[in-house]
Amino acid sequence: MSDQNASFEQIGAALREHQRFAVLSHVRPDGDALGTTLAVALSLQQLGKEVRAWNEEGMLQKYSFLAGSDLLTLPPSEPEDFDVVVALDTATYNRLGTPLNSIRSSGLWINIDHHPSNPRYGDLVHIDPTAPATGQIIFELMCAARMPVSPAIAENLYAAISTDTGSFQYPNTTARTFEIAAELIRRGVNVGRVSQLLYENFPQRRVELLRELLATMQFACGGKLAWFSLSQATAKGLGVLPEDNEGLIDHLRAIRGVVVAIFFEELPDGKVRVSMRSKQGAVDVCAICKSFGGGGHTLAAGARVKGALDEVTQVIVQKACEAIETAGIPSELEPSGESQS
C-alpha cells in the first residue's frame, strides 16, 4: 500500500509485462463500474492478454447493450490463478464481493478509482478524487500507456463517464471531461444510440417502482431533507431487480429546496442499503456514511446499515438533519459548484 499514486506509465508497463488478468468492479455495479471493466478487458485482449472480467452480479440487463458485454460474467466456483488483478471504481476491497473467492493466487494488485474514501489497497494504486468518473481516469491511462482504444472500448468509456456525471450535468464535470467525450466520439461512439439506450430504455417495472417510492416520500428540516424507502415486500411484489433502483434518488435531489436526498432500501440480509446525495459541499454525506461503515464522495455516498428499515431510517434522518443544521444552509439555496460523483 502506497501513499503516492502510481504513474500511468508504471501501470501501463505492468499491464504489458504480464499475461493473465482478472478485472473486477464493485457489488451493485453502475455504469462506471461496468463500462470501465469492459473497456480495460477489451483493451487487454487486444494486447493479446488472457482476461477474465467478473462481477458479483454479472452483466446487468440495462447495460447489456454495451460492446463486449458478453465478456463480463459471474465469477466461477473454481478459483483461478492470475498474474494481475485490476480493481476498478471500488472504494474498499471487500466491495469487490464474491469474485474474491474465485482468485486463488495473484502476483500484483492494481487499484484504480476516484472515490476519496478509498484506503489505497493494492500494489499499484492510482486514486484521483477530482475525476468525475473512473472512466475518465482509464481513458487518460490508455492514452498515456498507448493502449488500444477501439470503437468498442470508446463506447464503454463514454457510457462510464456519462452515467457517473449525470449525463455531464454534475458540478465536477470539467472542460477536460467534455474534451474526452469529444475524443471518444471521434473514435466511434454513436452518441444518440448510446444515450437512448442509457436514458430512454427503462422497463415498465422501474416506473412502477418509482410510483411506489414516491408514495413513501417524506420531508424534514424545513424541506431541506427528503427521503423515500423500499421494503422487501414492495420489491418482491413488483418483481424489480436491484439495477432498477439506479438513479431514482435523483427525483428527490431535483426538488427545489432539498439539500440532502436519501434512499433507504431494505435488504434480505437484515441490513438497509442507504444511498445519500447532497447539493451542498457543506453537508458532507460521505462523512455521515463513513460513521456507519460506508463511504463515497462528499456529495454522493452510501452505506449498508444493520437493523430494521424503520429504525435505520430514523437514525440516518436524524444524523442528516443535524448535518444540515450545523451547516446553517438557508432554505432554497442555489446549488453549489462543488464536486460530485
Q: In degrees to the nearest 10, what's the CA dihedral of 295, 311, 317, 223?
A: 140
Question: What is the tally of structural domains in the chain?
Answer: 2
Residue-number span of the structural domain to which 236 is assigned: 205-327
CATH code of the domain in which 123 resides: 3.90.1640.10
Question: Do 235 and 122 belong together in one domain?
Answer: no
Domain membership of residue 1 (yes or no) is: no
Question: Do 211 and 175 belong together in one domain?
Answer: no
Q: What are phi and psi of 214, to 5 degrees?
A: -65, -25
Domain membership of residue 102 (yes or no) is: yes
Question: Do 289 and 194 belong together in one domain?
Answer: no
Burial of 153 (0-12, 13-18, 19+ CB in 10 A): buried
* Full DSSP string of 106-173: EEEEEEEE--TT----SSEEEE-TTSS-HHHHHHHHHHHTT----HHHHHHHHHHHHHHTTTTTSTT-
Domain membership of residue 120 (yes or no) is: yes
Question: Do 86 and 121 belong together in one domain?
Answer: yes
Domain boundary among 199, 226, 250: 199
Confidence of residue 46 (pLDDT cuts 50, 70, 90): very high
Domain membership of residue 135 (yes or no) is: yes
Confidence of residue 332 (pLDDT cuts 50, 70, 90): low
Please state whether the predicted TM-score (pTM) of the whole model is above 0.95: no
Overall average pLDDT of the 191-199 stretch: 97
Question: Do 188 and 282 belong together in one domain?
Answer: no
Confidence of residue 106 (pLDDT cuts 50, 70, 90): confident
pLDDT in tens, 267-297: 999 999 999 999 999 999 999 999 999 999 9
Confidence of residue 1 (pLDDT cuts 50, 70, 90): low
Domain boundary among 199, 217, 238: 199
pLDDT in tens, 141-183: 999 999 999 999 999 999 999 999 999 998 889 999 999 999 9
Domain membership of residue 212 (yes or no) is: yes
The answer on pLDDT for 337 being more than 60 is no
Domain membership of residue 297 (yes or no) is: yes
